[in-house]
Amino acid sequence: MKRKVIEIDEKRCNGCGLCIPNCPEGALQVIDGKVRLISDYFCDGLGACVGECPQGALRVAEREAEPYDEKKVMENIIRQGTNTIRAHLKHLLDHGEKNLYSLAVEVLKGKGIEVPETAPAEKLPCGCPGTLARLLKQKHPETPAAPASGHTPSALRQWPVQLHLLNPAAPYFDDADLLICADCVAYAHGEFHTHLLPGKILIIFCPKLDHSFDEYAGKLADIFTMHNIRSVTVARMEVPCCGGTVAIVEKAMAMSGKNIPLEIKIIGIDGNITCNQ
């Protein structure tokens, strides 16, 4: 069928990825240093990403394309957590797509998932709903009670931890269980050192700010290839721009040809684990 979809000018695109947070549907990914439309099924053609491209590499074009599939999109959206669901529903309402909104709500209700409020919110210049300023309601005293010993020991087992600085040949990767973690997770999740990190080798990076998609995927692929990795746990925030954490790991796994057990934990901005995959 002929319909509107996003078209990407590869000559102009520099792979910065600034458009990706504005596509909660998951139609865009940075691959080989360029933003790609990964599936017509996920692109609604409404163009929320277009205005975020500093290079002017995106535009809405009408061409032959697979029909947009809201149910397939919602399967992808749900995996990314509440903030992404909210962003997607607001996106549909902002563009007057009431039928698609109703279908999305139907999918959520069918899975027993609460439909989040979609009242208009302040949108910061970067456009990412994960950057909206908010004060989180404290569920615990502002000064947490110290453990009986008066000190919570660090569970960190190696240094450095930032992926850019790591040596893929480091011996501590031998027979390791890896925790590959978005930068913000350790600050948001109060039990990071007692729940997520124990027994694991830590690798951290930011998929939104580092702009090293291919470099990071290649380095992780080297680690996977050079060592016997027993398992990989990915911990990411629920905000849409953090989805690149999983994408980088999955690409690295494919590049290495390894089939390593993979677990994904999604951390809400309130610090709780909202989803285990």
Fold annotation for 1-68: Alpha-Beta Plaits (3.30.70)
For the beta carbon of residue 126, count every other beta carbon within 10 angstroms. Answer: 13
Q: What is the pLDDT of residues 55-114, one digit of tens each?
A: 888 888 888 887 888 888 888 778 778 877 887 887 777 767 788 888 889 989 998 998
Give the CA diameter of the chain.
67
Better-predicted residue by pLDDT, 147 or 8? 8
- Residue 209: how many CA atoms within 13 Å on its side-chain side? 7
Distance CA 89, CA 228 (A): 42
DSSP annotation string for the chain = -EEEEEEE-TTT-----TTGGG-TT--EEEETTEEEE--GGG--S--TTGGG-TT--EEEEEEE-PPP-HHHHHHHHHHT-HHHHHHHHHHHHHTT-HHHHHHHHHHHHHTTPPPPP-------TT--GGG---PPPPSS-SSPPPPTTS-------SS--BGGG--TT-GGGTTEEEEEEETTHHHH-TTIIIIISTT-EEEEE-TTTS--HHHHHHHHHHHHHHS-EEEEEEEEESSGGGGHHHHHHHHHHHHHT----EEEEEE-TTSSEEEE-
Residue 223 CB neighbour total at 10 angstroms: 25
pLDDT value for 123? 44
What ranges do the domains of the chain cover? 1-68, 69-118, 163-276
What is d(CA 38, CA 31) in angstroms, rounded to the nearest whole number? 9
pTM: 0.56
Cis peptide before 160 (omega within 30 of 0): yes
Residue 234 pLDDT class (50, 70, 90 cuts)? very high
For domain 163-276, the question of CATH label 3.30.450 is answered with: no
Give buried/exposed letters for 17-46 (b at 16+ CB in 10 A, else e). Answer: bbbbbbbbbbbbbbeeebbebebbbbbbbb
pLDDT for res 147: 55
Whether the per-residue pLDDT at 137 is higher than 70: the answer is: no
Look at residue 65 in the predicted model and tell me its pLDDT. Answer: 80
Q: Encode burial over 236-263: b for 16+ CB neighbours within 10 A, e otherwise.
A: bbbbbbbbbbbbbbebbbebbebebebe
To the nearest whole percent, how much of the chain has pLDDT over 70? 87
Distances (CA, A) of 149 to 106, 145, 146, 197, 203: 50, 11, 8, 20, 28
